[in-house]
Structure 1
Amino acid sequence: MSLQEQFAQAQIDSKNLSERPDNMTLLKIYALYKQGSSGDVTGERPGFTDMIGRAKYDAWDQLKGMSQDEAMQQYIDLIEELKG
């Protein structure tokens, strides 16, 4: 199975986890997904009134420079770990 196929399967698996991950883990999942699918962060950082958007942006921004393949692999590994 290719990395792209594993990444797609992990996306499906992420929606079927037995327990909802904590917020920090959810941010990590989001950031790894965005880095793996889109590369480095784009757009402007949301303002103070959008706390969730701002946290998501910041989490993704922390991965700047990570290759998309590396982000996909870390995403796959994290979802596998959460599946238990």
Structure 2
Amino acid sequence: MAFIDRECVRHLLEAPDPDATLVFVRGECVVLSDAEIDDAHRGLIIARRRDLTAHIHGDTITDQQLDLLAERLDNVVHDLGA
């Protein structure tokens, strides 16, 4: 079962905040700004937007790129013990 999908990654990459962060909270992926992340959420961070931009090639994000990133991030969630 996948926890992170293409839409989670899309929300993170399209977030207006350059410091947007993908956090896995109660079974859902949530995009929060860095200022919104408190101690309770710090251990639930999956990825920061700035970390993903290095994996995007070209000006347009393809569904294939989103799926690949989602698969990688889903593995992070599984490693967290979800």
Normalising by structure 2, we get a TM-score of 0.37
Would you tell me which structure has more helix in proportion to its own residues? 1
Would you tell me which structure has more strand in proportion to its own residues? 2
Normalising by structure 1, we get a TM-score of 0.37
Q: Tell me which structure has the larger Cα radius of gyration.
A: 1
